[in-house]
Each structure stands twice: as structure tokens, then as C-alpha cells.
Amino acid sequence: MNTLHDLNIKNAKVNITDREALECTIKERVEAAYYRSIDQTINFPWRIPSKRLRGTIQHKSR
């Protein structure tokens, strides 16, 4: 899994039950589990969406 490589995890046992979740959802859940496991609660290194995705995200103003 590329996510484990990106997080520099070399030795881990990961059990994922995929109930038709999108790959990006599984990736984010793995990252969240990792950060919880090391008690990191601030300064998350979230990636900025690519230019291709930025234009598709629209927020409704109230």
C-alpha cells in the first residue's frame, strides 16, 4: 500500500475490511489511524488538492 510507504512505515500488520469504500477513503482512514497511534493531534501534514481537484470543490455561501 503506497500510503504506508508515504508514512515511512516499514513493518506493520494492517487488516482492512473494504465494504466498497473508495480508495481515497481507505487511504485517509489509514492516515488518520497512524496519526492517532502516535498521538499527533496538531500540525497534520495534509496535502493540498491538485489543481484539477481544486476547481471542483465549491462551498455554498449562507
Tens of pLDDT, residue by residue over 39-62, are: 887 777 766 555 555 454 455 555
Please tell me the predicted confidence (pLDDT) of residue 8: 87
The Cα 29–Cα 2 span in angstroms is 13
**By three-state DSSP, how is residue 30 classified?**
helix
- Structural domain boundaries in the chain: 2-54
pTM of the model: 0.61
Please tell me the predicted confidence (pLDDT) of residue 6: 86
The Cα 33–Cα 15 span in angstroms is 12
CB 4, CB 30: distance < 8 Å: yes
For 17-46, what is each residue's pLDDT tens digit?
Answer: 878 888 888 888 888 888 888 888 777 776
